[in-house]
């Protein structure tokens, strides 16, 4: 009876160990399946995060380019305004110099004409005096 009991216990232990082994195998299989699912979810999340980061980077890059374009446009406008201002000043300076030069030339011509007039007048006076003397 005792041997029968030991044999039953031995069978129960064997059966228990087989069931435990079977449960461990199922548990390992389920853990592996859950791990695979988790890896897939993490990969999908990682991919989505990378795409989101790339989109944000593209948006940031576009904003930086737009900012640089506007800044360059403003600098170009300022440079054009400065160039126009400098050209206007140079033009005014050139006009003042030209006016002074023309005034000097006119004064010289007036002086020459007055001198000729005076010479002509003196010549006519001398000729008149000579004609009076001749008469």
What mean pLDDT is reported for the chain? 96
pLDDT digit string, tens, across residues 68-85:
999 999 999 999 999 999
pLDDT at 128: 96
pTM of structure: 0.47
| Dihedral class, residue 70 (left if φ above 0, else alpha if ψ from -120 to 50, else beta) | alpha
Checking if the pLDDT of 124 tops 90, the result is yes
Instruction: Report H helices in the chain.
Output: 2-134
Which two tokens mark 126? 């001398």
pLDDT digit string, tens, across residues 24-69:
999 999 999 999 999 999 999 999 999 999 999 999 999 999 999 9
pLDDT at 60: 96
Confidence band of 135 (pLDDT split at 50, 70, 90):
confident
Buried residues in 94-115 as b, exposed as e (16+ CB within 10 A) = eeeeeeeeeeeeeeeeeeeeee
Q: Output the CA angle 84-88-90, nearest 5 degrees.
A: 115
Percentage above 90 pLDDT, the chain: 97
- Cα separation, 43 vs 50, whole angstroms: 10
Q: Residue 31 contacts by C-beta under 8 Å, 6 or more apart in sequence?
A: none
Percentage above 70 pLDDT, the chain: 100
Checking if the pLDDT of 118 tops 90, the result is yes
């Amino acid at each position: 009876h005792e041997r029968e009991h030991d044999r039953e216990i031995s069978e129960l232990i064997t059966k228990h160990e087989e069931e435990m082994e079977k449960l461990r195998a199922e548990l390992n299989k389920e853990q592996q399946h859950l791990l695979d699912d988790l890896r897939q979810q993490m990969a999908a999340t990682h991919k989505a995060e990378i795409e989101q980061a790339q989109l944000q980077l593209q948006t940031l890059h576009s904003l930086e380019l737009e900012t640089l374009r506007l800044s360059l446009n403003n600098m170009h406008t300022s440079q054009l305004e400065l160039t126009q201002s400098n050209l206007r000043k140079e033009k005014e300076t050139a006009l003042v110099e030209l006016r002074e030069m023309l005034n000097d030339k006119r004064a010289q011509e007036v002086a020459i004409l007055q001198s000729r007039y005076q010479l002509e007048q003196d010549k006519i006076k001398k000729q008149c005096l000579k004609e009076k003397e001749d008469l």
